[in-house]
């Protein structure tokens, strides 16, 4: 028996780094939302063990794959807590559309999809909060995808708060064809160059106090851009090129290297998408026409 599902990407509409922990990890303050760009996944049950297959050459198919780790964690948690489940294992097939190493959370989304799908298939042995705690062991973005809706993320990304529905936005996402190492970006990040705490608090207050659709465009920001541009100068070149072609603000998602521009008008978004598609025809850069996905 198999089940097919979509595993959606995310973008960070703003991302502030607020501090560094003694263990070397960073605290953040970020507004995260899913977009309609998605990987295709098929989970096959009634098979022994855990297996992963993926069509992308840069995605591992062994125990280091996040989806594999998620399934393994789920079954071990069931065994440890003596949960009686009828699913002995799972085969996971991933067809990648989300750029790998692009700051769009593709691997984390895959892992969250595996956890939530296995939980539903096994008649919900774990609550959503329990799944989110599992997700914390897999990666900083996994709790967000398990949460399921636009959220303000704090801590390492594990503390999530609901926000009002955002103003409908269309998103042109650009993959410059550079797989960015998140670890390298954080190692090169200079906390002295991040935004002030005052700005962060004011931004949060504006978002949380709204009682209607929020236009997020004035708050776009990413503290990690400087570090990513320093390690991967090609991402900066792509950002500047896109901004010139689209004549609007272009932001990096997460630690990069994917870039995005927001449009309130669907037709204008389509024109921007077509312009980039034509400009980059035949090259390694990719363009996606998407939209915010909100519940």
- pLDDT score at 188: 84
pLDDT in tens, 271-282: 999 999 999 998
The Cα 142–Cα 165 span in angstroms is 21
Q: Does one domain contain both 157 and 186?
A: no
Q: Does one domain contain both 16 and 154?
A: yes
Decide if 254 contacts 105 (C-beta within 8 A): yes
pTM of the model: 0.93
pLDDT in tens, 106-156: 999 999 999 999 999 999 999 999 999 999 999 999 999 999 899 999 998
Q: Which domain holds residue 123?
A: 2-162
pLDDT in tens, 217-251: 788 899 999 999 999 999 999 999 999 999 999 99
Q: What is the mean pLDDT of the chain?
A: 91
| 177 marked as binding residue | no
* Residue 215 bears catalytic tag: no
Domain CATH code at residue 227? 3.30.70.890
| 105 marked as binding residue | yes
Domain count, the chain: 2
| 135 marked as binding residue | no
Q: Does one domain contain both 102 and 145?
A: yes
Decide if 173 contacts 57 (C-beta within 8 A): no
The Cα 276–Cα 232 span in angstroms is 21
pLDDT in tens, 2-49: 999 999 999 999 999 888 888 777 889 899 999 999 999 999 998 899
Q: Does one domain contain both 188 and 148?
A: no
Q: Does one domain contain both 16 and 157?
A: yes
| 101 marked as binding residue | yes
The Cα 108–Cα 114 span in angstroms is 10
Q: Does one domain contain both 244 and 154?
A: no
Q: Does one domain contain both 51 and 185?
A: no
* Residue 10 bears catalytic tag: yes
Q: Does one domain contain both 149 and 185?
A: no
- Beta-carbon contacts of 112 under 8 Å, excluding residues fewer than 6 positions away, are 7, 70, 135, 142, 145, 146
Decide if 262 contacts 217 (C-beta within 8 A): yes
| 107 marked as binding residue | yes
Q: Does one domain contain both 246 and 282?
A: yes
Q: Does one domain contain both 205 and 129?
A: no
Domain CATH code at residue 120? 3.30.230.10
- Please pick, among 39, 141, 175, 223, the residue that the annotation labels catalytic: 141
**Quick check: 259 pLDDT over 90?**
yes
């Amino acid at each position: 028996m198999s089940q097919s599902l979509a595993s959606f990407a995310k973008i960070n509409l703003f991302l502030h780094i607020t501090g560094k922990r003694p263990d070397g990890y960073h605290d953040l303050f970020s507004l995260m939302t899913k977009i309609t760009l998605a990987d295709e996944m098929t989970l096959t049950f009634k098979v022994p063990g855990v297996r992963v297959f993926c069509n992308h050459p840069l995605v591992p198919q062994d125990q280091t794959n996040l989806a594999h780790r998620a399934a393994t964690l789920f079954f071990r948690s069931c065994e440890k807590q003596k949960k009686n489940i009828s699913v002995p294992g799972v085969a996971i097939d991933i067809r990648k559309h989300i750029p790998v190493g692009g700051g769009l959370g593709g691997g984390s989304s895959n892992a969250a999809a595996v956890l939530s799908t296995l939980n539903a298939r096994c008649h919900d042995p774990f609550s959503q909060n329990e799944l989110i705690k599992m997700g914390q062991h897999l990666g900083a973005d996994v709790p967000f995808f398990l949460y399921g809706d636009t959220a303000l993320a704090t801590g390492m990304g594990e503390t999530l708060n609901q926000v009002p529905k955002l103003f409908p936005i269309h998103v042109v996402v650009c993959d410059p064809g550079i797989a960015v190492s998140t670890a390298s970006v954080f190692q090169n990040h200079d906390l002295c160059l991040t935004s002030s705490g005052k700005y962060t608090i004011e931004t949060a207050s504006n978002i949380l106090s709204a009682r209607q659709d929020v236009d997020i465009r004035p708050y776009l920001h990413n503290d990690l851009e400087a570090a990513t541009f320093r390690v991967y100068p090609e991402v900066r070149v792509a950002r500047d090129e896109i901004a010139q072609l689209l004549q609007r603000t272009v932001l990096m998602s997460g630690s990069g290297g994917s870039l995005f521009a927001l449009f309130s008008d669907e037709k204008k978004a389509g024109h921007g998408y077509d312009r980039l598609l034509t400009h980059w025809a035949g090259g390694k850069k990719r363009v996606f026409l998407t939209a915010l996905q909100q519940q």
